[in-house]
Structures are given as structure tokens and as C-alpha cells.
Amino acid sequence: MVPHYTVYPILCEPLFKPKIWGGRKLEVLFGMDLPAGEKIGEAWVAADLAEGSTRVANGPLTGASLGDAARLWGEAMIGPAWRGRPTGARFPLLVKFLDAQDDLSIQVHPDEAACRSDFPDDFSKDESWIVLDATPGGAILHGFVAGVTLDDFDRLLAEGRVVECMRRIEVRPGDVFRVAPGTVHALCRGVAILEIQEPSDSTFRIYDYGRLGDDGEPRPLHLDAARKVMRFESAGSGPRIRPAAATTSWGWRETLVDVAAYRIECVTFERPTSWRVDPRSAQTLIVLEGEVSLAAGGDALRVRNGGCVALPAAVGTVRVDVGPGGAPARAVLAGAGGVEMIPAR
């Protein structure tokens, strides 16, 4: 048994999820060793859910789950910022890559209030997307066209034309979107994303293009539940987030999303740097381009593009250096909302 206090950075082993709308793009983007013959829609790279948990790929806990680490180390792992949340001692983020080779179902997620009042077996699901790849014309559906009412929605849904009342946004790599609970949404074919969200798989499916599941039957819809949580209000000027980049002594940084559920920063490492992890929250570091060397808690590892490291709240100082040849590396950091990932300096 590893002592309670011996925390170290955890390299997560992806958990692959076959989906009828998935493909093999993650092999191309990140060289992932996907299961042969499977259409992989999702790679969960930091997960601690009943529906699946990623495994530890380094150190004394190799082969254990991320959930095992969270239960073993407690707040030394997850940090007190998450204390009292409905998901309890679970690792507080779900991080995954999605490859949409076909249109995903139109769906919506509940918030905490809806879960308390109507869905006690579900959990709030607030998520954000970073677009990694998109074919020409690749798009997302995000909310309704201005002026759409519940009557409009019900009529178009009954006619199999609900897509017509949805706001369709063409996307390109680097685009960032937040999908707040209650926002009706879908990824469209040809788009691959990094998704960071609350640790929940609660999804209410609204429309699925008449597709059949692996059992030959239509996949279930959850219309009554969806009507209780979906929102029709306008999203103002549009959902695409336009962060401002700031230079640092070691490269670049951008704050992408900072809400109660989580904070997400995008960083480009051009030179070595170090920071002390804020003990209020665990962090995840996901490398999107290049490779980094990372050292913390007496452990050192290399993280290549597509790799994810869970940094315990109590791990202390983290040192990062760029990979071979000094090539810059781009990564995403996420933790509790309001907790800065790398202190400004």
C-alpha cells in the first residue's frame, strides 16, 4: 500500500469508448493505439466515473484507477475546493477526446438544481470544447436560433426537422466553446475536440437521426427529461470564446473558461518553467502539441501529445521543460474554477 501522503503526478492511460458515430482520427492526431476494428468515439484520459475510470500508467499505483488514487489520497489528491460537491470524493474533472465521424445525437445536460429537484441519480454536466480538427464545413450545433419557442421545437421535432431550429456554427481548430447545462447541442461530423467537464455522464438525448444501436433498435430518447432542463434564451453575440493571449517568461498563456465548475487555461511552453500547484485543487495537464518533461513529487516523466497527467493538489512544485530539440509544446491545464493554474509572474 502506498502511504497516504506520497502523492505524485499520475500519467493516465486512455480509456477508449466505441461509438456508432466514432472513427479512427485519434490514431492520426495523437498516435493512440486504438482497439483494432473499433469505431472509437471517445478517449477518456482523466476519468473517475461509474461508467469508467482511467488507469494509472506510472509509479507505485500503476494499474490502479484514478478513482483509487482519489480515495487513497483524499483531499491531498483532489483539494478542498471540491469539498461538499455532489460527486463527493470522486476526481473532480472528466477529460476526454472526441472524434465525430458522424453527427452526434442532439442532447442536453442537467445542472445541479435540476439534479436536486428532478434527477437525484444524475449529476450536473457543464462542459467546454476545444476544437482540435475539423473537415471543411465541420460544425457544431449550440443552442437555438433566436426566437425559437417550445412550440417551434415540438413541431419541428415531430416532423424530424429539429436541426432547423438549432444554431449551426462552422468551426476550425483552436475554437473554444462552453456548453453550459441546459444548452441543447451536438457535435457534427468531421469535428474532433478536447472536452473538459464536470465528472458526469448524465445526458438526455433529444434526436438521433433515426439511427439504430448495436442491438438493432433505435437508441432511447429522453424527451421528458430534456424538456425540464433545456433553455431557449439567446446566447447574445455567440458562443465562440475569444481569449486574449498573454506573454510570460516561459511562453504564452490564455484563460479559456473560468466558471464555478472548472477553470481551463491554454499554455505554450517555449522555455523551462516551474510552479507550485495551488493546494486547493487538483490539476490536469493535457499535451496537445509537442512533448514535455515533467517532474513533481520526486517523480519525472515525459508526456507526448495526447498525454494527460493528473497533478494532485498536494504535489507541490511542478517543473516543466520542452521536449527534444527545444521545440515548443502546447498544453491545456484545468482545475477548480477560480484557482489559477500557473501563478502569474
Q: How many residues does the chain have?
A: 345
Q: 339: which residues sit within 8 A by CB, 6+ positions away?
A: 79, 81, 263, 278, 280, 281
Q: Find how far residue 191's CA is from the centre of its chain.
A: 15
Instruction: Judge whether 345 counts as a catalytic residue.
Output: no
Instruction: Choose the catalytic residue: 85, 90, 167, 205.
Output: 205
Q: 96: which residues sit within 8 A by CB, 6+ positions away?
A: 42, 43, 44, 45, 46, 47, 194, 195
Residue that is written with C-alpha cell 457544431 in the block: 140
- Beta carbons within 10 angstroms of residue 122's beta carbon: 19
- Beta carbons within 10 angstroms of residue 95's beta carbon: 26
**Residues taking part in catalysis:** 205
